């Protein structure tokens, strides 16, 4: 049953009060964290017995404004719940990250990306304003015109400047279906050149392009996945059960066509966590038939992964078979599009992980965001790779190798997973001076961890 907007606002206000009270109850010097059932962070962290802040009243959609194409959303609301509230109005967020359990606050204080990012940028760019619980224990409103320094420094701060408790975001119209064209390429450079043309023109030949990403299976087998919104009725595919989306992309033709509902398109990667569900046997035909459909989702695999890490199951099995332990390489990086083919070819030659995901992006506005300083009006490509490799002679050997290569190519790495940068290098890459200025103003007693301590030192 839907909740009237006035009731939702009252419930949200009560939730904010509980959050602030729980924050102020944390003793000075004690660690502060959110109480969350799920997380899309993959960095190793020192264990803590700290009680989490009460976010129980910050999980819903406060209101949707169909005429103004905007929504007020609580900071811990998931994109799954937000899309469920907006799609009946024919509206969706400008960028919907791939996994259902990603929250609005998480996508903004971290970095989200998806196949609309070549035209709509990153999720924080469609935030009109937000209320943030700062390290000083105060809730302040941040927007381009109010507390603008916090507004611009918040993206990529990962909760070290505060927590978003309310966000007002832009929405866009969405037609009921997405027509897909999976275009095959036999060389990485050819795929990147085609991607660059589409980003510039928003067209594939005469076809308008609303969505754009790609998958690399090997150096001579890669695909652009081009999507166009349509209201034309017709049959659609279903990749929420036995059929697996990423496998449907592969073909021997020049172009393979497909259709999905807009709902299923937005969540096409969630059912199998891109392709990572294979690690849990979920893609085996027999297991697939027995696995309940409601548990074919990223939240399930995330819980299984946390259990595996808790009990060190993977490394125990490797030792049982006389093999070395494995290093997790779970990363998303961005490089300028003119360096992307160079990076991907290097990666395929040096890191034994495939498939990998490609997603182009351009910032929407004319300013860089200081903690993740991509250049405006330039195209970057996000390269995502999520697996393990045999452990090397030093801690994080493969991850360190990737970090150096990304920096050599004038790129950046997202901080949701393990990072190994020296502090000086980290400050240069992630806006150290700007960060310290904002941190001092909004968290003067340093109640919250610093970004380097959280992202690299894993406290």
Phi, psi of 13 (to 5 degrees): -60, -40
Q: Is the pLDDT of residue 3 over 60?
A: no
pLDDT by residue (tens digit) across 318-365?
778 788 889 999 999 999 999 999 999 999 999 999 999 999 999 998
Q: Is the pLDDT of residue 240 over 60?
A: yes
Same-domain check for residues 33 and 69: yes
Per DSSP, helices labelled H in 142-296 are 148-153, 188-201, 245-249, 262-266, 285-290
Q: What is the pTM of this model?
A: 0.94
Q: What is the CATH number of the domain that holds 31?
A: 3.30.465.10
pLDDT by residue (tens digit) across 72-91?
999 999 999 999 999 999 99
66 contacts: CB under 8 Å, gap ≥ 6? 89, 90, 91
Same-domain check for residues 69 and 128: yes
Q: What's the number of domains the chain is made of?
A: 2
Same-domain check for residues 146 and 23: yes
Same-domain check for residues 61 and 152: yes
Query: In this structure, is residue 295 part of a structural domain?
Result: no
Residue that terminates a domain, selected from 244, 268, 292? 268
Same-domain check for residues 115 and 162: yes
Q: Domain range for residue 115? A: 5-174+445-455
39 contacts: CB under 8 Å, gap ≥ 6? 302
d(CA 246, CA 340): 21
pLDDT by residue (tens digit) across 202-229?
999 989 999 999 999 999 999 999 999 9
Q: Is the pLDDT of residue 234 over 50?
A: yes
112 contacts: CB under 8 Å, gap ≥ 6? 95, 97, 102, 106, 122, 123
Same-domain check for residues 49 and 28: yes
Average pLDDT score, the chain: 93
334 contacts: CB under 8 Å, gap ≥ 6? 361, 374, 380, 381, 382, 383, 411, 412, 413, 414
Same-domain check for residues 23 and 143: yes
Residue that terminates a domain, selected from 215, 236, 268? 268
d(CA 149, CA 431): 13
Same-domain check for residues 240 and 165: no
Residue that terminates a domain, selected from 268, 301, 335? 268
Same-domain check for residues 15 and 157: yes
pLDDT bucket at 39, cuts 50 / 70 / 90: low
Same-domain check for residues 30 and 154: yes
């Amino acid at each position: 049953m839907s909740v009237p907007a006035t009731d939702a606002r009252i419930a949200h206000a009560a939730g904010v009060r509980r959050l602030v009270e729980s924050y102020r109850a944390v003793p000075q010097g004690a660690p502060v964290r959110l109480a969350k059932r799920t997380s899309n962070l993959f960095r190793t962290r020192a264990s803590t017995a700290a009680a989490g802040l009460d976010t129980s009243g910050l999980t819903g959609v406060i209101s949707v404004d169909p005429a103004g194409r905007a929504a007020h959303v609580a900071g811990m609301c998931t994109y799954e719940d937000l899309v469920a509230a907006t799609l009946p109005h024919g509206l969706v967020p400008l960028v919907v990250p791939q996994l259902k359990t990603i929250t609005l606050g998480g996508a903004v204080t971290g970095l989200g990306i998806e196949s609309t990012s070549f035209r709509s940028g990153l999720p924080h760019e469609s935030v009109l304003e937000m209320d943030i619980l700062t390290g000083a224990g105060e809730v302040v409103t941040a927007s381009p015109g109010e507390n603008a320094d916090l507004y611009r420094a918040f993206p990529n701060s990962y909760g070290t400047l505060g927590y978003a408790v309310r966000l007002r975001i832009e929405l866009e119209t969405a037609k009921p279906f997405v027509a897909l064209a999976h275009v095959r390429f036999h060389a990485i450079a050819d795929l990147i050149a085609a991607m660059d043309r589409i980003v510039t023109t928003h067209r594939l030949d005469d076809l308008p392009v609303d969505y754009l990403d790609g998958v690399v299976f090997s150096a001579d087998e890669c695909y652009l996945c081009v999507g166009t919104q349509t209201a034309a009725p017709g049959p659609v595919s279903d990749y929420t059960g036995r059929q697996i989306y990423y496998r449907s992309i592969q073909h021997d033709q020049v172009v393979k066509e497909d259709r999905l509902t807009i709902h299923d398109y937005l969540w096409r990667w969630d059912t199998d966590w891109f392709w990572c569900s294979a690690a849990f046997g979920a893609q085996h035909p027999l297991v697939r038939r027995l696995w309940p459909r409601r548990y074919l989702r990223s939240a399930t695999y995330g819980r299984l992964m946390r259990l595996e890490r808790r009990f060190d199951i993977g490394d125990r099995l490797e030792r049982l078979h006389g093999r070395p332990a494995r290093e997790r390489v779970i990363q998303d990086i961005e490089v300028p599009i003119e360096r992307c083919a160079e990076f991907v070819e290097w990666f395929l030659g040096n890191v034994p992980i495939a498939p990998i995901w490609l997603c182009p992006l351009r910032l929407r506005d004319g300013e860089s965001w200081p903690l993740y300083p991509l250049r405006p009006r330039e195209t970057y490509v996000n390269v995502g790779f999520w697996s393990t490799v045999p452990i090397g002679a030093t801690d994080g050997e493969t991850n360190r190798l990737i970090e150096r290569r990304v920096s050599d190519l004038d790129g950046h790495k997202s901080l949701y997973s393990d990072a190994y940068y020296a502090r000086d290098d980290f400050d240069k890459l992630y806006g150290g001076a700007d960060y310290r200025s904002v941190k001092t103003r909004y968290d003067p007693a340093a109640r919250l961890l610093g970004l380097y301590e959280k992202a690299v030192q894993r406290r």
